[in-house]
């Protein structure tokens, strides 16, 4: 960002907003949960709604609504007219109705909020010190299948929101050379594997993941009747000397490598290289911080990096493409195709 001239009074206001950021965040979560935003929006045709109407219709005290809406007005989330009628601003509208904002907000509240209190320790120790708020695991991925239902729902909705949308578009390139065997590294719930199985009736899939996730993926595959074409492999890439078999035509890694530090990424890719022949393609999907058209997308990635720091593993992040390309070449891979996919993602097709 370039240096901007800003009046001291405005800078102070910005600083105060940050000082009280958790207050406005929780106010917004509460206004959503109580249905206040919905009701204000529904009544917009009547020129807005007063606190006393909101109180009667929602059975929430006027005091409670008053303290919430007062600060929401200062943050430009709602407006109040001379008759005391509230309406949503554009920001208020996005906070209640934009899907990406909703997914991010639920993820922040349910998965990260309490853990973020330990960010300072996490930075000092290089460990996900906030994770203890959710459970006793080395990384969040060891505990994914054991998270409480609400936390799990928010985690998976966040994960799927940023990958589901590009799977369909990716299939054309993935199946260009008619792969017979595809390895899905970090197969998660089996969503991409299922799309491949439906797309090509001959392809066989090997899914690699931690035990809890692998069990979930294989159960989903079985539910859809595809179990004969899928083999599951338990693996923990953080253990010494992880191995995968030979025989893949395509090794697929979607939003997987960002779960690891730079050294770990090189180790994982070198393991893949050892299993590849000269035709095997490694297809990597990532969202790079330096390839976003919009500042708000870059900002979401920067916040996601802090999730990795404090909750997930303590040492990974959303990467810059230049840094990432160096890791790929260090592992002995060459990028053959560098493709934009969807609005935010990059697809890298690599060979050894």
Ligand X SMILES: C[S@@+](CC[C@H](N)C(=O)[O-])C[C@H]1O[C@@H](n2cnc3c(N)ncnc32)[C@H](O)[C@@H]1O
Which residues here bind ligand X, judged by CB under 6 A?
Answer: 141, 144, 159, 163, 186, 188, 209-210, 213, 235-238, 254-256, 259
* In the complex, least distance from residue 314 CB atom to ligand X, rounded to whole angstroms: 12
Which residues touch 351 (CB under 8 Å, ≥6 apart)? Answer: 276, 278, 279, 280, 281, 282, 333, 334, 336
Name the minimum Å distance from CB 209 to ligand X.
5
37: closest CA among 86, 70, 104? 86
CB 104 within 8 A of CB 159: no
Q: In sequence order, what are the residues at sequence separation of 6 or more whose Cβ sits closer than 8 angstroms to the Cβ of residue 259?
A: 141, 186, 308, 312, 313, 316
CB of 45 to ligand X, least distance (A): 40
* Strand duo 204-209 + 250-254: pairing: unpaired
Shortest reach from residue 236's CB to ligand X, in Å: 5
Least spacing, CB of residue 83 vs ligand X, in Å = 49
- Quote the Cα angle for 158-219-136, to 5°: 55
Of 165 and 247, CB closest to ligand X: 165
CB 259 → ligand X: shortest distance, Å?
4
Minimum CB distance to ligand X, residue 304 (Å)? 10
Q: Which is nearer to ligand X, 37 or 256 (CB)?
A: 256
Minimum CB–partner distance for residue 133 and ligand X (Å) = 19
Q: How far is the CB of 266 from ligand X (least distance, A)?
A: 15
Q: Considering beta carbons, is residue 186 or 232 the nearer one to ligand X?
A: 186
Nearer CB in complex with ligand X: 251/259: 259
Closer CB to ligand X, 10 or 240, in the complex? 240
Query: Which CB, 32 or 233, lies closer to ligand X?
Result: 233
Of the pair 27, 255, the CB lying nearest ligand X is at 255
Nearer to ligand X, 259 or 349 (CB): 259
Q: Residue number with the shortest CB distance to ligand X?
A: 186
User: Which of 181/271 has CB closer to ligand X?
Assistant: 271
């Amino acid at each position: 960002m370039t240096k901007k001239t800003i009046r001291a009074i405005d800078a102070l206001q910005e600083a105060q907003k940050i000082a009280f950021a958790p207050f406005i965040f929780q106010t917004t979560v509460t206004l959503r949960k109580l249905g206040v935003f919905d009701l204000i929006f529904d009544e917009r045709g009547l020129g807005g709604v007063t606190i006393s109407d909101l109180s009667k219709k929602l059975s929430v005290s006027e005091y409670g609504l008053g303290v919430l809406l007062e600060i929401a007005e200062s943050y430009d989330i709602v407006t109040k007219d001379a008759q005391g009628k509230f309406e949503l601003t554009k920001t208020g509208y996005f906070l209640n109705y934009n899907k990406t904002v909703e997914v991010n907000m639920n993820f922040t509240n349910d998965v990260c909020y309490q853990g973020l209190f330990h960010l300072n320790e996490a930075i000092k120790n290089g460990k996900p010190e906030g994770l203890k708020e959710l459970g006793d695991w080395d990384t969040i991925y060891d505990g994914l299948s054991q998270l409480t239902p609400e936390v799990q729902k928010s985690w998976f909705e966040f994960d799927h929101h940023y990958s589901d949308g590009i799977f369909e578009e990716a299939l054309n390139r993935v199946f260009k050379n008619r792969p017979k065997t595809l390895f899905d590294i970090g197969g998660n719930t089996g969503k991409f594997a299922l799309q491949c199985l439906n797309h090509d009736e001959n392809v066989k899939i090997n899914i690699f993941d931690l035990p809890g996730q692998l069990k979930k993926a294989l159960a989903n595959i079985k539910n859809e009747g595809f179990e004969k074409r899928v083999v599951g492999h338990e693996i923990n890439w953080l253990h010494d000397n992880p191995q995968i078999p030979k025989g893949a035509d395509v090794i697929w890694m979607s939003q997987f490598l960002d779960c690891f530090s730079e050294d770990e990424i090189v180790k994982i890719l070198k393991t893949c290289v050892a299993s590849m022949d000269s035709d095997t393609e490694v297809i990597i999907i990532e969202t790079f911080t330096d390839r976003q058209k919009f500042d708000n997308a870059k900002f979401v990635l920067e916040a996601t990096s802090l999730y990795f720091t404090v909750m997930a593993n303590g040492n990974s992040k959303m990467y810059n493409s230049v840094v990432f390309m160096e890791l790929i070449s260090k592992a002995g891979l060459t990028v053959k195709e560098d493709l934009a996919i969807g609005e935010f993602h990059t697809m890298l097709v690599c060979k050894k």
